[in-house]
Structure 1
Amino acid sequence: MNKSVIKLFVLPFLLFVTVPILSGEVSANPDHPFASGSGTEQDPYVIETADQLDQLRNYLDAHFELGADIDLSGYSAPDGKGWMPIGMNKGYKFTGNFDGIKHTISNLTINRPYTDGVGLFNEIGYSTIKDLFLKNISIKGASSGGLSGYIHHSTVKKIAVNGIVEAEYTVGGLAGYAYYTSLSESSFIGDVNVSENYSTIGGIFGSSREGKVENVFTEGTINPHSSYQEVGGLIGASYKDSIKNSYTAMSLEGEEQDMRSRMHFVSSARDSSIQNSFGVIPPQERKGNFVGYDSGSSINNSFWIERNNHSKLSNLIYPEWNFTSVWTMETGDEFPTLMLSVDKIPPVTTLTIPEVHENGWFNNHIPLEFSVNEDAIIQYRKNDGEWTQYTTPESLGDGEWTVDYFSTDKSGNVEDIKSVQLKVDTTKPLTTMELEGTKGKSDWYVSDPTFTLSPADGGSGIDATEYRLNKGEWISYNSPVTLQEGMHNVEFRSIDGAGNVEDTQTIGVNVDTTVPELEVGLNKYELWSPNHKMKKIQSTLTYSDAMSEVDSVELVSITSNEDDDSHDDIQGAEYGTEDTEFSLRAERSGKKSGRVYTITYLITDYAGNDLTEVATVDVPHDKGKSDKKSNKDKKGKKAK
C-alpha cells in the first residue's frame, strides 16, 4: 500500500442539490443493510456507500468502520436541507464506535440554520471516533460542528476536517460543544462563521469542558458577527481542559476594526492548563491576547507568533508530535499535515543551496544544509569520501565538489542516492601592474609610460579586468595602455568567474615630458667705455613650468672670450644659486675685436626636465663697432 499524505486546504463552497435519499439499496447481507460485519467490536459493520452510511442512524450503538471513500455530493434528506445529522431523526445519540480506516467522507452538505446539534452526527456520547477525513464539508446550523454538534465522554483521534462550518451561536470546526472528551492528533482547516451576538466560536470546539486536547491544529478563517463574542482560534470557551502541543493559524475576518482584539488562542479559559502551544496570527491582529479571559488557568511555554516573522516552522516547535506515523512536514510547508495511511514511500531529502553565480560557481562558502520531509536519518559524503550522518550544516570550502546524500526513515524506507556538483571560489583575484617608461625625478615620468595589467585567479578563472583614469568610467582592459602628459590616478581591478570582485587598487602616475621655460634679462648688455672699472650687473629671471613646476634656477657660469686677459674681471657671482647680482669689468684687449661675457643659467623642473638659457654683455673694441647681443644660444633638454 502506498503512503498517501492528505494535504488539507480550504476548498470552495459547493452548492448542494436536493435529491431524494437513495434508500432501500440491496445489501450483501440480508440481516442488515451494510457491506459486511455483525456490528460488534471484533466484527464491526463495514460501510462502503452513501446509502449504507445513511443507514447507520438505525444502529446507533453498534461498531462501524469504513471500507471505502464515500462522496455525499447532492445527498439530501427528503426535507431538502441536505444531510440529516445521524441520531437527530431518532432523538438519540450515537454511542457506538466508528473507525474511518483512514478513508474520506467528502462533500457533506447541511443547511439547517435553526437546528441545534448539526454535523455528520447530531450527538456522540461514550464513543470512539478515529481515522477519518471529512473533506469539503459545508454545514450550517444553530449550533454546529464538522463532526458533530455535541460530543461528550468520548475519544476522538486522527480526525481531519476540511471545509466551512456555520452556526447561529455556537460553532467549532469539529464540534460545537465537547464535554469530558479526549481529542488528539486531529485538525480543522477551513472557515468557521457565526451570525449572532454573544456567541462562542472555536477553530476546533466552540465550547469545551473537562476535556483533553493534544496534538491538534486549526488553520483558516473565523468570521464573527460582532465584537461581543468569544473567539478562539482553537477553543472559544474552555473550562478545566488540558491543552497540550497544539496550535492555531486561524485568521480573523470582519468588518469592524475592534473585532481584531477579539482573536485569541482560547477566548475564555477557566481553570484550564495550556502547555507547549501557540498561535500564528497576522501582524494586524496582534492586539488580541493569547487568552482573552483567564481565571485560574496554567499557561506554560505558549505564545503568539506573528506570521511575517517566520518562513517555515521547524519540527522543533512540535517536540512531542509523532512525525513517523501521524504527522508530516513536506518541503516548503509551514505547518504539519496528517498522514492517513501506512508509510511505504521513501523519504525525500532536500539540499538547500544558495543562489549560484551565472558561471556555475559559488562565491561564498556553501553550508550543506539538508532537510527531509519526515523523521529520517540523513547521510552524505563529499567527493566519494566516507558517509557521514547529518546533524548540523557543514560549510564547503574552495574547490569543486560532488556531494551525495540520501535518507532512511523509521519505517526502513531508503531514498535513492542523490548527487549534486558544487563549485566554490571565495577568493578574490589579484591584478599586478607593470609600468614602462623613462623616469625622471620624484617618481615623475619624462616620457609617455605604458602600463600592463596581469590578473591571476586560482579558482574560477578571470572573467574580466577593467581600469579607469581619474574617477572616470570603468574601461575593459584588453591591451597595454599609454598615458599622456598629466597627473593620473589609475584604478584597476579584476572579476573572476564566481563573481568575486577584487578590491580596487590605485596607483598614481605622473607624466611631464615638457622642459620648463626661462627668460633672462640684464640691466646692461654693453659696458662702455673700457675704463677698467667694475660695473654692477643685475639679471631678471622670468620662468614657469606647465606640469611638475619649477624645482630650481641656478647661475651656472659667467665666462669671457678673453679669459687669458680677464682675471678678476668677474666678481660677486655665486654659482649654483639663483644669483642675479654680480660685477663685470669694463675691459677688453686692444688687439681683438672686443670682449663678450657669457652668462649661463640652468632651470630644472621637479620631473628633471631642464633648460639652459644664456645672456651676453659686450665690451666693444671701439664704440663704432659695438653690436648689442642678448638671449643667444638657448638649449633645453629632458631629464635622463
Structure 2
Amino acid sequence: MKFKKTLLAAAIIGLSAQVLAAEPREDYDLDDNGLIEINSLQDLDAMRNYRDAESEFNLSTATGCPESGCTGFELTTDLNFDTNGDGVINASDEFWNDGLGWEPVGSSPSPTFGAIFDGKNHVIRNLYINRPESDNVGLFARVYWGSIYNLAIAGSLTSVTGQNNVGILSGIITKGDVSSVSSSGQVQGVNAVGGLIGSYQTEANSRRTLSSCYSTANVNASEAGAGGIAGYVNANNVTECFALGDVTANTKAGGLIGEVISISIANAYASGNVSATDIAGGLVGYHNSYSLNIYYAYAMGNVSVSDEAGIAGGLIGQANNSSVNHSHWTTETGQQYLHGGGTLSNDVGNSSYSQSVLSCPTAADDTDCTTDATLYQDWTNSYIMADETVVNYWDFGTANQMPVLTAQGYVLRDRDGDGIWDFNDAYPDDPTNTEPKSPTSGGSSSGGGALIWLLGLAAMVSLRRKSKA
C-alpha cells in the first residue's frame, strides 16, 4: 500500500533566477516502482535536494513512494538544455547561470548523489557546463553508492568544461555501477577527464563495473589523464565499451582510459586519435600499479607523442606489469609495439596488422586473413536475450569492416558515419541523409554522433555469459 502524506513545501536549491520549480504532485511514483518520475529539467534540478527533509523530492517522504521510501529517480521523457530551441546556449536559455551552465547534481549543497538514476533509454540533449575552476564536473558531480543506467547525453551543443575530475555523465563516481550509457560532444579539463566519467573509483573490497557504454566525445586534459570513456579508473571493471572520439592530454592519454590502477578491460575498442606530450596509448595511456588485464580489445586511431623522450604504444603507453590477451592494434596507430614502456606480465595472442587485414575476418578465430597468426582468437563470448536468443558480443561484418560490439541483439555499426546506427538508418551508405527507418520516441539522431543508447528498445533481462563456442 502506498504511503500518503501532506505535501511539503518545495525547497528547490541552486536554480537560476528565471527557473521555477514544477508544481507539487499528488503522486511522485505513478508506476509504483520506487523511482520518482523526472518529467522536466526543473525536476532534474530538484533532484539535488533528495536528502533534504523539507524537499518534496526527499526519497524517504515523497508522496506516493512506498512506506520504505523510494530508491531513486527515472526519466520519463527526453530533455533539452537548448530550452528555447534557437540552436545556441546563452542567456536566453534556462540554467544558463550567468555563463556557468548547469550546476552538477551532487555538488554543493548536497555532497554526493547516492541513489538510482534510470534514464529509461531517454536522451538529455545539449548539456552545457562551463566551470573551468570547479572540480567534479558533469551532469552529476560526485556519485557515491549511486547507480546510473539507460541514458544518453548527446546533441551538437553538448560541452562540459571543468578542472579536475570532469566527464559528460559524471565528474567522479565511487562505489557506483554504470551501464547502458552514452555521450557525445566536447569535454575538457585539467586532470582526469573522460568522455563519460572523469574518475571512476572504488573503496576497499568494493569493485564495480562500467558496462555497455560508448562515447563519441572529443576529450582534452591540459595536464594528466584523458580517455575516450574515462580519465582515471581505479580497481573497477570496464566491459563492452567503446570510444570513437579524439583524445589529447599533456600526459597519460588513452583512447579508452587515460590512467588505470588495478582494472580489467574486456570486449572494448577505441578508434579515435590519441596524442600527448609524453605518454599515450591506443587503449590505455598509463597503468599506474597493481594489475591491468585486457581481453578481446583493439585500437585503431593514430597514437602520437610530441616529446622525443615520450612513450607511446599501440594499446598501452606505460604498461607496468600488464596482462594483455588476444587483442590487436592497427599499424595505422603508428606504433610498432603493444606498449611504449614498462613490462608485460602476460602477452598472449596479441598482434598488429593493417586495418585492411584486421577488417578481413568475418568471424572469430580467423586463420585465413593472415598466415602467421590467429586473428580475434576466442572472441566468441555471448549473452542471452530475454527471449533466450544467444547473441555474440562482437559482430565482424563484412571482409571490409572492423568488428564492432552489439547491444540487446543490435549491431552498433554506423558505416557512413552519420550518427545513426545502420539497423535504424534508411540510408546506411549515405552520410548526407539521416532519415531513420522508423520513428523513435527520442528521435533518430543526436546531432553529435551518439544516439539514445538503446533507441527505446526493450531492456535486456539477462546478460548471463555463455561458455565459449
Question: What is the TM-score of this pair, normalised by structure 1?
Answer: 0.45
User: Counterpart of 2:253?
Assistant: 231
Cα deviation 1:438-471 (Å, max 9, x = unaligned): xxxxxxxxxxxxxxxxxxxxxxxxxxxxxxxxxx
Tell me: CA distance 1:335–1:192, structure 2 relative to 1, closer, same or farther (3 Å).
Answer: farther
**1:171 equivalent in alignment to 2:190:** no
User: Counterpart of 1:215?
Assistant: 240
SS in structure 2 of the partner of residue 247 of structure 1: strand
User: Counterpart of 2:381?
Assistant: 320
Tell me: CA distance 1:265–1:283, structure 2 relative to 1, closer, same or farther (3 Å).
Answer: closer
Opposite residue 160 of structure 1, the aligned amino acid is S
Opposite residue 268 of structure 1, the aligned amino acid is Y
Q: Which runs of 5+ in 1 are unaligned?
A: 1-17, 347-371, 375-410, 412-640
Q: Note the C-alpha offset of 1:217.
A: 0.4
Q: Show the 5 A alignment for 1:28-427.
A: 29-30=25-26, 36-37=28-29, 42-59=33-50, 62-73=71-82, 74-76=93-95, 78-136=97-155, 137-143=158-164, 144-180=166-202, 181-196=208-223, 199-224=224-249, 226=250, 229-253=251-275, 262-269=280-287, 270=289, 271-282=291-302, 288-307=313-332, 309-310=355-356, 314=362, 316=364, 319-320=380-381, 322=383, 334=402, 336=404
Tell me: CA distance 1:79–1:117, structure 2 relative to 1, closer, same or farther (3 Å).
Answer: same
User: Counterpart of 1:616?
Assistant: none
SS in structure 1 of the partner of residue 184 of structure 2: strand
Distance 2:99 2:17 in 1: 8
Q: Note the C-alpha offset of 1:101.
A: 0.9
Alignment size in residue pairs: 316
Distance 2:197 2:355 in 1: 31
SS in structure 1 of the partner of residue 112 of structure 2: coil
Equivalent pair of 1:75/1:83 in contact (CA under 8 Å):
no
Equivalent pair of 1:160/1:338 in contact (CA under 8 Å):
no
Tell me: CA distance 1:276–1:44, structure 2 relative to 1, closer, same or farther (3 Å).
Answer: same
Q: Note the C-alpha offset of 1:288.
A: 2.8
Equivalent pair of 1:244/1:277 in contact (CA under 8 Å):
yes
Q: Note the C-alpha offset of 1:89.
A: 2.6
Q: Note the C-alpha offset of 1:323.
A: 9.6
Tell me: CA distance 1:135–1:315, structure 2 relative to 1, closer, same or farther (3 Å).
Answer: farther
Tell me: CA distance 1:338–1:86, structure 2 relative to 1, closer, same or farther (3 Å).
Answer: farther
Distance 2:321 2:275 in 1: 30
User: Counterpart of 2:308?
Assistant: none
Q: Note the C-alpha offset of 1:284.
A: 7.3
SS in structure 2 of the partner of residue 26 of structure 1: coil
Distance 2:169 2:19 in 1: 22
Distance 2:394 2:323 in 1: 29
Distance 1:315 1:76 in 2: 49
Distance 1:276 1:173 in 2: 21
Equivalent pair of 1:216/1:246 in contact (CA under 8 Å):
yes
SS in structure 1 of the partner of residue 99 of structure 2: coil
Tell me: CA distance 1:298–1:288, structure 2 relative to 1, closer, same or farther (3 Å).
Answer: closer
Q: Note the C-alpha offset of 1:297.
A: 2.5
Tell me: CA distance 1:44–1:206, structure 2 relative to 1, closer, same or farther (3 Å).
Answer: same
Equivalent pair of 1:245/1:321 in contact (CA under 8 Å):
no
User: Counterpart of 1:22?
Assistant: 19
Question: What is the TM-score of this pair, normalised by structure 2?
Answer: 0.60
Distance 1:209 1:250 in 2: 23
Q: Note the C-alpha offset of 1:30.
A: 4.6
More strand by share: 1
SS in structure 1 of the partner of residue 313 of structure 2: coil
User: Counterpart of 1:633?
Assistant: none
Opposite residue 109 of structure 1, the aligned amino acid is Y
Distance 1:179 1:284 in 2: 27
Opposite residue 23 of structure 1, the aligned amino acid is L
Equivalent pair of 1:233/1:266 in contact (CA under 8 Å):
yes
Tell me: CA distance 1:92–1:251, structure 2 relative to 1, closer, same or farther (3 Å).
Answer: same
Equivalent pair of 1:217/1:234 in contact (CA under 8 Å):
yes
Tell me: CA distance 1:283–1:182, structure 2 relative to 1, closer, same or farther (3 Å).
Answer: closer
Opposite residue 250 of structure 1, the aligned amino acid is G
SS in structure 2 of the partner of residue 52 of structure 1: helix
Q: Structure 1 residue runs of 4+, over 6 Å off?
A: 283-286, 323-333
What is the Cα-based RMSD across aligned positions, in Å?
3.5
Tell me: CA distance 1:283–1:155, structure 2 relative to 1, closer, same or farther (3 Å).
Answer: closer
Tell me: CA distance 1:184–1:237, structure 2 relative to 1, closer, same or farther (3 Å).
Answer: same
Cα deviation 1:506-545 (Å, max 9, x = unaligned): xxxxxxxxxxxxxxxxxxxxxxxxxxxxxxxxxxxxxxxx
SS in structure 2 of the partner of residue 113 of structure 1: coil
SS in structure 1 of the partner of residue 163 of structure 2: strand
Opposite residue 283 of structure 2, the aligned amino acid is F
Cα deviation 1:106-142 (Å, max 9, x = unaligned): 1000000010000000011112211111113210000
Q: Note the C-alpha offset of 1:236.
A: 1.2
The answer to which structure, 1 or 2, has the higher relative contact order (CA under 8 A, 6+ apart) is 2
Distance 1:78 1:223 in 2: 29
Opposite residue 281 of structure 1, the aligned amino acid is G
Distance 1:234 1:63 in 2: 29
Distance 1:55 1:272 in 2: 40
Equivalent pair of 1:214/1:243 in contact (CA under 8 Å):
yes
Tell me: CA distance 1:373–1:108, structure 2 relative to 1, closer, same or farther (3 Å).
Answer: closer
Distance 2:167 2:30 in 1: 29
